[in-house]
């Protein structure tokens, strides 16, 4: 399969699909930290991104900065932030309408479920062998819901790895990193 992994700098999901023998292109505004076939730039500037039949699957991790619950109190008081919030929702809608038969969009619980559509599935890292708890919403088109592979106690929150001395950019990067257990489940159950 030809798999496009959008908004992923870590290479965790891309590496899992490549290990199964698929052609994978990861795309992010940031350089990749661990995947060799990476396009640094806007997903919509990837050649032939809107050509039907070019890609078999899209897995996207749109930034949650303006989509998550933590923004609720800030949006009403900051017009610039509210405009970025609307653009973030439009970005997700545009990803969803790409001519790709299998699409998965991931984001935490937030505004997408009320201002766009309810997620197909809500799961957590600890359902796939990693001891971290985090609500993960998945919007799926042409793909089945993920079956849990190894439920372990969710004893740690992903946010426990950040502290007040870190920059906001570093905190966001740590909180948004995807883990290998669920990436492996995606590569095994969706191909």
Q: 88 lies in which domain range?
A: 2-185
Distance separating alpha carbons of residues 52 and 58, to the nearest angstrom? 13
190 in a structural domain: no
Distance separating alpha carbons of residues 183 and 191, to the nearest angstrom? 12
Is pLDDT of 110 > 70?
yes
Structure tokens at 125: 């890292």
128 in a structural domain: yes
Across the range 20-28, mean pLDDT stands at 97
Distance separating alpha carbons of residues 109 and 86, to the nearest angstrom? 17
Distance separating alpha carbons of residues 88 and 92, to the nearest angstrom? 6
- How confident is the model at residue 176, as a pLDDT? 62
Q: What percent of the chain has pLDDT over 90?
A: 66
- How confident is the model at residue 68, as a pLDDT? 81
106 in a structural domain: yes
Name which of 87-96, 129-138, 171-180 the model is least confident about. 171-180
Is pLDDT of 81 > 70?
yes
100 in a structural domain: yes
191 in a structural domain: no
More confidently predicted of 80 and 90:
90
Unique residue bearing structure tokens 């708890």: 133
- How confident is the model at residue 90, as a pLDDT? 97
- Using one digit for the tens of pLDDT, what is the confidence trace for 3-19? 999 999 899 999 999 99
Which CATH number goes with the domain that contains 163?
A: 3.40.50
Nearest to 154 by CA among 183, 113, 189, 123: 123
- How confident is the model at residue 175, as a pLDDT? 59
Distance separating alpha carbons of residues 162 and 160, to the nearest angstrom? 6
Across the range 81-94, mean pLDDT stands at 94
91 in a structural domain: yes
- How confident is the model at residue 152, as a pLDDT? 92
Q: What percent of the chain has pLDDT over 70?
A: 88
Task: Work out how many domains the chain is built from and give that number.
Answer: 1
162 in a structural domain: yes
Is pLDDT of 164 > 90?
no
87 in a structural domain: yes
Q: What is the mean pLDDT of the chain?
A: 89
């Amino acid at each position: 399969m030809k798999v496009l992994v959008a908004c992923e700098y870590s290479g965790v999901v891309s590496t899992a699909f490549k290990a199964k023998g698929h052609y994978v292109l990861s795309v992010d505004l940031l350089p990749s930290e661990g995947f060799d076939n990476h396009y640094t730039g806007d997903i919509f500037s990837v050649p032939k991104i809107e050509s039907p039949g070019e890609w078999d699957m899209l897995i996207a991790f749109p930034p949650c900065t303006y989509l998550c619950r933590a923004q609720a109190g800030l949006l009403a008081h900051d017009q610039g932030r509210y405009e970025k919030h609307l653009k973030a929702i439009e970005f997700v809608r545009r990803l969803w309408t790409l001519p790709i038969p299998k699409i998965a969009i991931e984001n935490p619980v937030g505004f997408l479920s009320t201002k766009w559509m309810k997620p197909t599935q809500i799961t957590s890292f600890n359902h796939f062998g990693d001891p971290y708890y985090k609500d993960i919403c998945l919007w799926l088109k042409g793909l089945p819901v993920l079956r849990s592979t190894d439920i372990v106690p969710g004893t740690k929150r992903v946010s426990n790895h950040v502290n007040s001395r870190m920059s906001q950019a570093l905190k966001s990067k740590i909180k948004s990193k995807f883990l290998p257990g669920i990436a492996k489940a995606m590569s095994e159950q969706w191909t």
